Amino acid sequence: MPPFRTAVAATLGGLLLAAGQLSNAQAAPTPSPTSDPTVRPAPTATPTGDYPPWNPCYYQILMDQAYDKNKDWLGDYRRSGTCIAEFSNGTIDANKYETYLIRDRMWTRYHALDGYTGFLARPTSNQFPVRDGGLVQRFEGGTVYAVPNAGTYVVRDEFLRRYGEFGYENGVLGFPVSDRFCGLRGGGCGQHFQTGSLYQAAPTAAMFAVHGLFRDTWSANGWENGYFGYPMTDEINETSDQVTQRFEGGWMRYNFRTGVLTTGRW
For 131-168, how does the pLDDT look when each residue is reduced to its tens digit (9 = 90+)?
Answer: 999 999 999 999 999 998 899 999 999 999 999 999 99
- Are 263 and 250 a contacting pair, CB within 8 Å? yes
Predicted local distance difference test score (pLDDT) of residue 184: 98
For 49-105, how does the pLDDT look when each residue is reduced to its tens digit (9 = 90+)?
Answer: 444 443 567 788 888 889 999 999 999 999 988 899 999 999 999 987 899 999 999
Evaluate whether residue 18 is within a structural domain: no
Evaluate whether residue 75 is within a structural domain: no
Could you please report the per-residue DSSP string of 179-218?
Answer: --B---GGG-EEEEBSSEEEEESSTTS-EEEEEHHHHHHH
Predicted local distance difference test score (pLDDT) of residue 55: 57
For 216-239, how does the pLDDT look when each residue is reduced to its tens digit (9 = 90+)?
Answer: 999 999 999 999 999 999 999 999
For 182-209, how does the pLDDT look when each residue is reduced to its tens digit (9 = 90+)?
Answer: 999 999 999 999 999 999 999 999 999 9
Residue-number span of the structural domain to which 250 is assigned:
156-266
Evaluate whether residue 165 is within a structural domain: yes
Tell me which of 12 and 60 has the higher pLDDT. Answer: 60
Evaluate whether residue 72 is within a structural domain: no
Predicted local distance difference test score (pLDDT) of residue 57: 77
Tell me which of 211 and 20 has the higher pLDDT. Answer: 211
Evaluate whether residue 201 is within a structural domain: yes
Tell me the pTM. Answer: 0.80
What is the overall mean pLDDT for the chain? 84
Evaluate whether residue 39 is within a structural domain: no
Evaluate whether residue 263 is within a structural domain: yes
Could you please report the per-residue DSSP string of 67-105?
Answer: HHHHHHHH-SEEEEETTEEEESSEEEEE-SS-EEEEEHH
Evaluate whether residue 180 is within a structural domain: yes
Domain count, the chain: 1
Give the DSSP letter of residue 19: H
